[in-house]
Amino acid sequence: MAGAELIGKEEIKEVMDVLKTGVFARYAFDNERKGIWKVRDFEKAFAKYCGTTHALGVTSGSAALKVALTALDVGPGDEVICPAFTFMATYEAVLEVGGIPVMADIDDTLNLDPNDIVNKLTPRTKAVIPVHMCGSPARIDKILKVAKKHKLLVLEDNAQGLGASFKGKKLGSFGHMGICSFDHYKTITTGEGGMVITNDLDLYHRAEWYHDHGHDHLSPVSRALDGRTILGFNYRMNELQGAIGLAQLRKLDRVIAAQRKNQAAVMEMLAPIRGLKFRAVPDPEGDSATFLAFNLPAEEQTKAFQKALKAEGIDTVRFKDNFWHYVPNWEHFLARSTANSKQHPFSDPRNRKVTYSRKAIPQAEDILGRTLIMGISVKMPAARMKALKKGIDRAAKAL
Ligand SMILES: Cc1ncc(COP(=O)(O)O)c(C=O)c1O
């Protein structure tokens, strides 16, 4: 639960600043807002934290993906390679812009396998979306290399990995664009919200214009007199979200430090179990430690261990069973059941018919069948740790 565990007087103070002005909109009302620009300040602080030149606050991580894909000019006829293990929003966003998501395999990091990108390439492939699942980096260096060779755009879906890094550089800042989510479950939260980051001014402008009906925000006079070159929509973050985001961002390093400490303690409990391995982390210093993933040699053994842990009151997820984070389990997606009765964009003749067979992702089928994932909290008091240790030791006897 991370940042949501630490909501307190700092968030209340920031929100009160906004309530006192009565201006919840991020743009305009210059006189009434009395110098309070929370979303703008949050964006600046967020870009600085991530080491990028630009950040754009939006209404959700899903919106951030759509805004970024639009800025990147991904549309009908374009294919986007996405990992088989991700939250549905990654695929939904590609469909939202009229493109077609192409499912690729994962490796032992549980993230997109750089070696599988070439297997999924077609002349229509325009972009790749590495997703840093459960707070830990994909092999982003290798992914970037393959993408560069094949002239692919890279959009990092870092909804789950805020604060994580690879070799000292924050995740989300490697690709042409990156996104983050602040929904209630994420490393920091604004209730709902998201951020788009980039080092490219043109991409930032396109994203910024698109997210606010095409307003170019360049007029010093008034919002009504703004210039406009492209049509857009409304994905604006509001000042209350910006205010909470500012307070939460200041707590982010504390969140990560606490999670890392707790994750290390749980790893120590699990380490003696014969055959148990932890998920590969390309840069262990860079894990945000929101989760702990470990695997056993065989699927049946993993299921038995999960059952034994459950009997001890310890919840884990085996993502091969999960309905929201593993493509082969999305029956509505596989049936092309979009909100549109014509099944847009699958019916669009510009889009190639793509299949989503388990056979195309043998590593995901194997690894996700043998992997258990446990949530790590900021607050894991001694009594809880003690109970965990007792439960793990007892469950281990079932192996
Ligand atoms: C990998 C991933 N991408 C995108 C999203 C979408 O974020 P939001 O819930 O803010 O729309 C999520 C949310 O769970 C996610 O886990």
CATH number at residue 89: 3.40.640.10
Q: What distance in angstroms lies between residue 60's CA and the mean position of ligand 1's atoms?
A: 8
Q: pLDDT tens, 10-34?
A: 999 999 999 999 999 999 999 999 9
Nearest alpha carbon to residue 246 among 33, 44, 55, 396: 44
What's the rounded mean pLDDT across residues 335-364? Answer: 96
What's the rounded mean pLDDT across residues 177-193? Answer: 97
Q: Which of 1, 58, 134, 183 to mutate to test the pocket of ligand 1 (most atoms within 8 A of CB)?
A: 183
Q: Measured between alpha carbons, how far apart are the two ends of the chain, in Å? A: 30
Residue 86 CB–ligand 1 contact under 6 Å: yes
Residue 366 CB–ligand 1 contact under 6 Å: no
Cα 245 to Cα 293: distance, rounded to the nearest angstrom? 28
The DSSP call for residue 168 is: T
Q: What distance in angstroms lies between residue 391's CA and the mean position of ligand 1's atoms?
A: 31
Does the pLDDT of residue 336 top 70, yes or no?
yes
Q: What distance in angstroms lies between residue 87's CA and the mean position of ligand 1's atoms?
A: 6
In a domain, 374, yes or no: no
Q: Which of 160, 182, 319, 373 to mutate to test the pocket of ligand 1 (most atoms within 8 A of CB)?
A: 160
Residue 159 CB–ligand 1 contact under 6 Å: yes
Q: Which of 69, 87, 248 to mutate to test the pocket of ligand 1 (most atoms within 8 A of CB)?
A: 87
User: What DSSP string describes 375-389?
Assistant: E--S---HHHHHHHH
Positive/negative CA dihedral, 359, 362, 367, 370:
positive
Residue 190 CB–ligand 1 contact under 6 Å: no
The confidence score (pLDDT) of residue 129 equals 99
For the sheet containing 54-58, what is the strand order?
Answer: 54-58, 194-198, 177-181, 153-157, 125-128, 79-83, 100-104
| Catalytic positions, written as ranges | 186
Does the pLDDT of residue 58 top 70, yes or no?
yes
Does the pLDDT of residue 349 top 90, yes or no?
yes
In a domain, 113, yes or no: yes
What's the rounded mean pLDDT across residues 227-243? Answer: 97
- Closest residue by CA, ligand 1 atom 3: 159
In a domain, 57, yes or no: yes
In a domain, 224, yes or no: yes
The confidence score (pLDDT) of residue 1 equals 66
The confidence score (pLDDT) of residue 40 equals 98
- Closest residue by CA, ligand 1 atom 7: 61
Q: What distance in angstroms lies between residue 268's CA and the mean position of ligand 1's atoms?
A: 30
Evaluate whether 99 touches 346 at the Cβ level (below 8 Å).
no
CA–chain centroid gap for 370, Å, is: 23
Range of the domain at 55: 2-251
Residue 245 CB–ligand 1 contact under 6 Å: no
The confidence score (pLDDT) of residue 218 equals 85
Does the pLDDT of residue 116 top 80, yes or no?
yes
Q: pLDDT tens, 261-272?
A: 999 999 999 999
Residue 59 CB–ligand 1 contact under 6 Å: no
The confidence score (pLDDT) of residue 219 equals 79
What's the rounded mean pLDDT across residues 169-176? Answer: 98
Tokens of 295: 């695997």
pLDDT band (50, 70, 90) for residue 228 = very high
In a domain, 221, yes or no: yes
* Residue 193 Cα: closest atom of ligand 1: 10
* Residue 65 Cα: closest atom of ligand 1: 4
Q: What distance in angstroms lies between residue 90's CA and the mean position of ligand 1's atoms?
A: 8
In a domain, 18, yes or no: yes
In a domain, 58, yes or no: yes
In a domain, 188, yes or no: yes
The confidence score (pLDDT) of residue 151 equals 98
Residue 235 CB–ligand 1 contact under 6 Å: no
Residue 155 CB–ligand 1 contact under 6 Å: no
Is pTM, for the whole model, over 0.95? yes
Give the residue ranges of DSSP H helices in 164-298. 201-210, 239-270
Q: What distance in angstroms lies between residue 308's CA and the mean position of ligand 1's atoms?
A: 30
Residue 194 CB–ligand 1 contact under 6 Å: yes
User: What value does the mean pLDDT of the chain take?
Assistant: 97
* Residue 183 Cα: closest atom of ligand 1: 10
Q: What distance in angstroms lies between residue 263's CA and the mean position of ligand 1's atoms?
A: 22
Place of tokens 């038995």: 304
Radius of gyration of the chain (CA): 22
Place of tokens 């110098």: 35
Nearest alpha carbon to residue 373 among 305, 295, 321: 295
Number of domains in the chain: 1
Q: What distance in angstroms lies between residue 161's CA and the mean position of ligand 1's atoms?
A: 11
